[in-house]
A and B are shown apart, each in its own frame.
Chain A
Amino acid sequence: MTGTDTPTIIEVSPDDARRVQTPADAASQGRKADKLLKVSGLSTHFFTPDGVVQAVDDVSFDLGYGETLGLVGESGCGKSVTALSIARLVPNPPGRIVSGEIVFDGIDILKLDSDEMRHLRGKEIGFIFQDPLTSLNPTLTIGYQIAESIRQHMGLSQKAAADRVTELLSKVGIPRARDRLKDYPHQFSGGMRQRVMIAIALSCDPKLILADEPTTALDVTIQAQILELIQRLSDEFHTAVLLITHDLGIAAGMCDRVNVMYAGRIVETGTVDELFEKPQMPYAWGLLDSLPRLDDVRGDRLRTIEGLPPLLISPPDACRFEPRCRFSRDICRQDEPELTARGETRHQARCWATQPDGWIRS
């Protein structure tokens, strides 16, 4: 499906629809571009009575087929708005994507009309949100809610859809799946509801899963199960995952690459190893320092990041982290640094101090 084609319901036989993609299939099939997702120069602004909030400002990154990319940062840094922009679910008004390009599997999704976009969501892009209770409709059975998107996007009969739902539920680890199709969301525990959400997200073999804080509401043992499930299924189906989290531990364990966001911008990007071993941006240093760790001996004081992020209404042309940075110099207040390479790899950071000609070499 491309932007110029009319959206059609893809005709597949029930058997075909229930087929489990092997990694080999997925690797060879259905690639329409070199990267699954390319975001370039994305700016999403919110037009509020107080002014224009530049929630996401000139963000560019890409995501390979089957890759897991983390978007990390604290509340208000723009990580969720980035995901909503990709799904074209930014609440409008007040929000609007003001510029940029989002190419998903070769399709410029900002040019799709709303029907085409609706087809893409659910079929090609699955969603897992933080709170499974509010994302599920309390008045509909679990079976119906999962079957809904399968029947819509795959054109299966009721019977074939029910079979597929049962298979999905067992795949996400819900015991006695067939007996539970007629249950309602409240009859499931939090962890089980999140599994149902994952089943819905996976129901149409999407190429991308947008997971926005998928485990924040869950207990740590349940969180571990859910993360493992996402990881296992994304390996099995070769599904790419955009994982939005504030938890650096989750990012370290789940992601291939990580983007650190701050005040609407990507401030550092690299592989997990690059980012955790040799972070190149004082904000990333500060985040790592302020975490109490399981593998530290009982510590004294934590080194914290002072102050708060800046207002995103008309931010100055300067490093956005500068007011909170202990290492800043005049140039940081005069000019905003670009995201530039650190070394030979794709490790990049937005910082004057750690640039090759900067004053911190590490």
Chain B
Amino acid sequence: MTTATVEPGRTEASARGNLIEVEDLKVHFPIRAGIFQTEVGTVKAVDGVTFEVRRGETLGLVGESGCGKSTTGRALIRLREPTAGKVTFDGIELNKLKTNELRRMRRRMQIIFQDPYGSLDPRMTVGSIIAEPIETHHLAQGAARRERIADLLRIVGLDPKYVSRYPHEFSGGQRQRIGVARALAVEPEFIVCDEPISALDVSIQAQVLNLLTDLREQLGLTYLFIAHDLSVVKHISDRVAVMYLGKIVEIGPPDTMYAAPGHPYTRALLSAVPVPDPVAERKRRRVILTGDVPSPVNPPPGCRFHTRCWLYERLGQPEQCRTVDPELRTIGGDHTAACHFAEQSVASDVGVGHIDTTLVRHGTPDAALASIRPQDGGVQSEATTVDVAETVIGGPPTQGDRTLDSDGSDGTDGRTPAAS
């Protein structure tokens, strides 16, 4: 597709099943001060991360604010220039691409932002928002383009007749769907989802999560899913990477990792997540992290987490933690952790006592599900819910500045190609 020089790497990466390979990626931001704006330090937002995103998977990236997860996501598609390190997309090294080569590559990778209000131009109609990337990449013209836009709206569960409406006429969930449609317009292979549901209400979050899951299956997409919510990440990801202070501290499949985290920080994070169940909540024992997150300008030597680590204290402050920065290493199967004492962490039960996956929990009782069967003459199907959603979506515009109502809901997914 671009330069010929990269062909060997490309085949190697493909052979390993990796769409993206990241090697020792660093993104540093200079801090300038004084009237001459001299550089007085650097914020090491991302400070040496190595990982891969496998073709067709969803890799979750979690961490607290300021840990560098969003910067990593952006550097992956070169929206941020890395300070050092290498990002290879399908065997092509992104950092070496020239501007127009990069523009062509951008067709293959897209991003969905957190803020569905801020990421859409309020003066553009939905149609022109989605048309823009199609025009930029000369993908379709005239009637074909209009048809493509209508298709995209249908795919994300919006009624194509809304094509000439403006973003403010939509609810938050619908705006996020527009953002998804814009990302899909260029038929990408890879999408960075940067906190795509954090700004939405619980029931709408579920609708957007379902949409993203469906699209991945139908279109064979690969996602990097950035979020701070460990429950959401567990739900959607094939593998989860945990970041702390510019480094990845643990990567693994969520079921394994959440059951037996190898990094003490992962345990601390999990111990802080509330579970919607009073019984589990009473079992929860929080790991207390002392102090604030250290500054990324001047991270602690050795393991960056040792200044707040419960395991370090428990093991009598081993010197190794203060002097040697631990590398990610395999602790079983597909599970890696960057801790000198990961085995001790795995062997403990700290922080995950409240996570009991043996219980099956549903909000809706079976008796309720049984109650709709005789009436409908069959099992409740997705199709029933589609009607509800469609009437809401297709309804007349509501009064005043109220947004157009419904978030289409997953019911509308019934109209997406694979589901129908």
Contact = CB atoms under 8 A, between A and B. Distances in A.
Nearest to A50: B400
Contacts of B273: 220, 249, 294
B399 A304 contact: no
Contacts of A300: 213
A299 B214 CA distance: 13
A228 B277 contact: no
B357 A297 contact: yes
Q: By CB atoms of chain A within 10 A, which of B207, B228, B357, B368 has the most?
A: B368
Contacts of A315: none
Given A221-B268, A307-B409, A360 B278 contact: no
A327 B366 CA distance: 12
Question: For the side of the interface on B, what is the size category?
Answer: 35 or more
A299 to B, nearest CB: 5
A323 B409 CA distance: 13
B156 interface: no
A94 interface: no
Please report whether the interface of chain A is mostly helix, strand, loop or mixed according to DSSP.
loop
Contacts of A285: 362-365, 368
Nearest to A300: B213
Nearest to A274: B278
A289 B364 contact: yes
B272 A291 contact: no
Interface stretch (A58-66, A139-147, A276-284): A276-284
Interface in B253-270: 254-255, 258, 268-270
A253 B231 contact: no
A290 B203 contact: yes
A357 interface: no
A224 B272 contact: yes
Interface string A226-252: 011000000000000000001111111
A136 interface: no
B213 to A, nearest CB: 7
Interface in B223-271: 228-232, 234-237, 254-255, 258, 268-271
A325 B214 CA distance: 23
B79 interface: no
A223 B201 CA distance: 19
B205 A290 contact: yes
A290 B280 CA distance: 18
B4 interface: no
A107 interface: no
Interface residues of A, number: 69
Nearest to A291: B276
Interface string A326-354: 11010000000000000000000000010
Given A276-B276, A285-B364, A298-B255, A249 B384 contact: no
A307 B234 CA distance: 26
A151 B380 CA distance: 63
A223 B64 CA distance: 11
A66 to B, nearest CB: 18
B367 A362 contact: yes
Q: By CB atoms of chain B within 10 A, which of A225, A294, A295 has the most?
A: A294
Given A252-B278, A288-B363, A324 B388 contact: yes
A91 interface: no
A313 interface: yes
Nearest to A361: B367
A241 B401 CA distance: 34
B1 interface: no
A327 B254 contact: no
Given A220-B228, A288-B362, A292-B209, A304 B203 contact: yes
Nearest to A222: B64
Contacts of B40: none
B361 interface: yes
Nearest to A227: B274
Given A224-B272, A273-B278, A359-B371, A308 B228 contact: no
Contacts of A291: 202, 206, 231, 276
Contacts of A191: 292
B206 A290 contact: yes
Nearest to B288: A225
Given A220-B269, A249-B273, A291-B206, A307 B392 contact: yes
A282 to B, nearest CB: 7
Contacts of A362: 365-368
Contacts of B275: 249, 252-253, 293-295
B210 A302 contact: yes
Contacts of B289: 221
Contact of A248 (B201, B276, B364, B405): B276
A16 interface: no
Q: By CB atoms of chain B within 10 A, which of A228, A253, A284, A303 has the most?
A: A253
A227 B385 CA distance: 38
Contacts of B64: 219-222
A35 to B, nearest CB: 23
Interface in B331-387: 354-357, 359, 361-368, 371-372, 375, 380, 384-385
B228 A276 contact: no
Contacts of A279: 363
B277 A252 contact: yes
Given A219-B228, A294-B273, A224 B286 contact: yes
A102 B354 CA distance: 39
A19 interface: no
A272 interface: yes
A20 interface: no
Contact of B277 (A74, A276, A324): A276
5 contacts: A219-B65, A276-B278, A287-B363, A302-B210, A360-B367
Interface of B: 64-65, 171, 201-203, 205-207, 209-210, 213-214, 228-232, 234-237, 254-255, 258, 268-281, 284, 286, 288-289, 292, 354-357, 359, 361-368, 371-372, 375, 380, 384-385, 388-389, 392, 398-402, 405-407, 409-411
Given A302-B206, A306-B406, A329-B375, 13 more contacts: A246-B201, A246-B202, A252-B275, A253-B278, A286-B363, A290-B202, A291-B276, A292-B229, A293-B235, A295-B359, A298-B235, A300-B213, A304-B206
Cβ-closest 3 pairs across A and B: A288-B363, A249-B274, A50-B400
